[in-house]
Structure 1
């Protein structure tokens, strides 16, 4: 009996369970394959005792529309940076990757499918270079992996953000207010731009285009006549003003390496007040609402396609590669290429042209 192990790492994401289910269903068609799931990414392998579950058709029944991941996830630590306390009681990080690979060999695991975003796939690439038979599946609501046309979970996050814009428009109009909606995306502005277009926002601020506060103020002033009017601003959590920096919160979580973004919506409101904007303003931070809940149909289908392709890559021994969607095909791309550069918004992007054509301000001076 051959074994493939699934791990889900990084932040949770709508569609993770649909990928797991697809892998299990495809594997069940082969008589000599068993599917395992490692709890909390690779923690399940590294813990003593190990925490690994057998995944069969019964175990994954009906999970395709559930949010989260039934094998849990984590974005802290990992096989190359495992947090331990030294003799002084201080936290330090040790490399347990070779130990983990040996444990997988002892468990007779023939291949690993690692479902995750940029950070997870960097781990995949490093493990592959150490000799592990591993395949990546791209997962991120930020849609910031350049080797694939789309990542599952992104469209669901956009749907949540768009619904928020829709709801804020009505309360903004009722009170003659400006609402600033802060959405996720880290260094990428894809969620913000898509939600701004779909929801009909007036201003959209993204990390790739540092904003000019005077340009933002001017765009909002145009929405008011004799103190009557309203506006909605969609701002990505990684956005920042020209000459400024991203808003990063202090974080003392052990093993969490990424900058903890958030709070730019409040900063923007204060900047507008200092610039002389006098209309009533409120902020709404969507936060993890964008990560949780039921995936929309598009993401369920995309997840299923990723899962089936991933297991077929295992059958073909296409290790060291990641599944990628290149319309209309699902292909395998080398992990080193998949993580080479992020997928960020560029000034010549078609969606940017649409934003400008709709009269949505990007916070740039004319």
Structure 2
């Protein structure tokens, strides 16, 4: 009997359970494979005793409608660069990939399907180079993994953000206010861009286009007449003013060195300092974008990703990541998927169309 290990790492994301279910249901059609899951990425595997769970088509039935992941997840303790405090108080990063691969093989696993974003797929590639048969599945609400048209979870995050934005439009109109809504997007502004177009924002600020605060003020003032009017702004957490820094705080030990968030308040203060007279309110969506049941689109691609990933295992096509390209499902080398970051192109058709709709990017 062959054994497959599933891991869900990084931030949680709508659709993770649909991938797990897809793998388990497809594997159930084979008589010589067992599917197991490791709790909280690979942490469950490395604990003593190991925390693993056998996954079947029966105990994964119906989980595709649930948000989060039944395996739990973590973005702390990257085994490729594991932070270890030294005696002098300094922190040294250690590569524990060889230890991880040895542990996986000692538990009798023949292959791994690693579900995660760019950081998780970097781990997948390192494991593959260490001799572990690995298949990757792209997951991130930020849609920042290259080589695939969409990552599952992104469309659900956009729907959540758009629903919230629609509500802010009506209250902005009622009170003649400027509403600033902050969405996730550390380095890529996909959620902000899609939400701005879907919701009809006046201003969309993203990391790829540093903004001029005076141009933002100019666009908002155009929405007012004798103090009456309203405007709605969508801003990604990684957006920043021209020649300015990203709004951040010190990150927790073992996670990213800086934690983003609060740029809505930064922008609010900048607008006031630039002389905007309108009343301003700020809303930060935060982790509401990660939670909840995945919409139909994400359920479909996540389910197909799961089936496709297991079939790559059956075919022995390791070191590959499943992708969606031109409405078809295929795979690319993980090394290719992580070789470049999926930024929003400021000169793309999507950005040009947004500007054609009257959306200002502050540039």
Whether the TM-score (by the shorter chain) exceeds 0.5 is yes
SS of corresponding position for 1:330: strand
Task: Map residues 149-168 of structure 1 onto 2, 5 A cutoff.
Answer: 149-168=149-168
The 8 Å contact of residues 81 and 255 in structure 1, kept in 2 or not, is answered as no
Q: Which residue of 2 aligns with 1:8?
A: 8
* Secondary structure of the corresponding residue to residue 64 of structure 1: helix
Cα offset, 1:89, TM superposition: 7.1
Q: Quick one: distance in 2 between partners of 1:47 and 1:161?
A: 37
Partners of 1:38 and 1:48 in 2: CA distance: 13
**Aligned residue number for residue 142 of structure 1:** 142
Shift of 1:67: 0.4
Rounded Cα–Cα distance in structure 2 between residues aligned with 1:231 and 1:114: 43
Counterparts of 2:350 and 2:143 in 1: how far apart (Å)? Answer: 14
* 1:314-335 CA distance string (max 9 Å, x none): 0011111111111222111011
Alignment of 1:47-196 (within 5 A): 47-84=47-84, 86=86, 92-196=92-196
Question: Cα–Cα, structure 1 residues 77 and 246, in superposed 2: closer, same or farther, change >3 Å?
Answer: same
Number of the residue aligned with 1:237: 237
Q: Do 2:97 and 2:126's aligned partners in 1 also have CA atoms closer than 8 Å? A: no
Check whether the contact 1:177–1:281 (CA below 8 A) recurs between aligned residues.
yes
Which deviations, in whole Å up to 9, do the C-alpha atoms of 1:156-196 show, x marking residues without a partner? 00001101110000110111100000000111111001101
Q: Cα distance 1:308–1:109, how it changes in 2: closer, same or farther (>3 A)?
A: same
SS state of the match for residue 101, structure 1? Answer: helix
Structure 1 stretch displaced more, 348-357 or 156-165: 348-357
| Unpaired stretches in structure 1, ≥5 consecutive residues | none
SS at match of 1:104: helix
- State the alpha-carbon separation in 2 of the partners of residues 9 and 326 from structure 1: 23
**Offset at residue 91 of structure 1 (A):** 5.6
Contact kept in structure 1, 2:3 and 2:34, CA below 8 Å: yes
1:1-34 Cα deviation digits (max 9, x unpaired): 1111000000000000000000000000001100
Distance 1:8 1:304 in 2: 15
Mean Cα deviation higher: 80-89 or 44-53: 80-89
What does residue 266 of structure 1 align with? 265
Q: How does 1:186-335 map to 2 (within 5 A)?
A: 186-251=186-251, 253-257=252-256, 259-335=258-334
Q: Which runs of 4+ in 1 moved over 6 A?
A: none
Structure 2: which 5+ residue stretches go unaligned?
Answer: none
Q: What is the deviation of 1:84?
A: 4.6
* CA-atom RMSD in angstroms: 1.3
Give the superposition deviation at 1:82.
Answer: 3.5
* Aligned 1:12-23 pairs, distance under 5 A: 12-23=12-23
Between the aligned partners of 1:42 and 1:26, the Cα distance in structure 2 is 23
